[in-house]
Amino acid sequence: MKDSIEIIETTKLVTEKPVVIIGIPDIGLVGSIATFHILDKLKLEEIAHLESDKFPPVIVVHDKRPKSPIRIYGNKDILILISEIPINSSLIPEISRSLIEWFKTKDVSLVMSLGGIAHPDRLEIKKPTVYGLGTDEETDEILKKNDINIFEEGLIVGPNGIIIRDCMKNGIPSLYLMTESHYRYPDPGAAASIIEIINKILNLNIDVRELLDKEEEIKIKARDLMKRTEQSMKEMQKIREKEIPMMYR
């Protein structure tokens, strides 16, 4: 019985201080849409998946084969974590701890979690703005160098917040990139904005045109995951991100 969360490597990959990009279902499915697009464009291979008896009894089928819904793709420079199911809040701390231990074995140089910030006037916004939260001077410098608006005060609810906190505790430089997004509707436009920032940070050239051209198709395909994610966000009180924390100084 696997009470703990295991990361099973299906391909032995030699990495060279890779950057990790995390796309877990959240507001507007921004992280999920962005990471699916990146791994498709970079043609990354599946290298590992997460397993635990605590996970819901769900497998996904792709290319005629059963797969774990939480998987890692990558090459020697970039590792991408995707999840095709929302992550239950009770599992977040354990998943985060397992990931951090695995990142240490891979000598990860930077972790970037991708997410959305619900914007009430998203329909009025043509080009969503991306905000960033760093965990140390090195990541602050990345934000500054790439003219990324800094998220200075607020609340973060859900897996992305816990993962960057655990990265910070373990001395792994980490960034949480958030973009203005629809709350309950899949938002490929917001995902495109965040990929453009990743292009700048990692000096990549991932084309986002297809993401924008296929916006309507993506929204139809992402409908069921968005519905499940909305239920999960309700359970973890995601709405609290709209609150302003009381200053302590």
Partner 1 sequence: MSRKRFLDIWEEFEDWAWSLRNRCLEPLCYIEDRGDHLLVSADLPFVEKENIEISLTEDLLEINARMKTSYRFNRLGVVQRGIKFESFHKILRLPSRVDTEKARARFRSGILEIELPKKIQKKSIEID
Binding-site ranges for partner 1 (CB under 8 A): 123, 182, 184-186, 215-217, 219-221, 223-224, 226-227
Shortest distance (Å) from residue 139 CB to partner 1: 33
Quote the CA–CA distance of 214 and 209 in Å, as a whole number: 8
Closest CA to 22 of 168, 177, 145, 188: 177
Shortest distance (Å) from residue 13 CB to partner 1: 27
Specify the 3-state DSSP secondary structure of 5. coil
Nearer to partner 1, 165 or 219 (CB): 219
Nearer to partner 1, 100 or 226 (CB): 226
Shortest distance (Å) from residue 227 CB to partner 1: 6
Q: What is the dihedral of CA 118, 112, 204, 44, to 10 degrees?
A: -100
Nearer to partner 1, 138 or 217 (CB): 217
Neighbours of 89 (CB within 10 A): 17
Lookup result for tokens 């464009």 = 41
Shortest distance (Å) from residue 234 CB to partner 1: 11
Quote the CA–CA distance of 92 and 83 in Å, as a whole number: 13
Nearer to partner 1, 62 or 76 (CB): 62
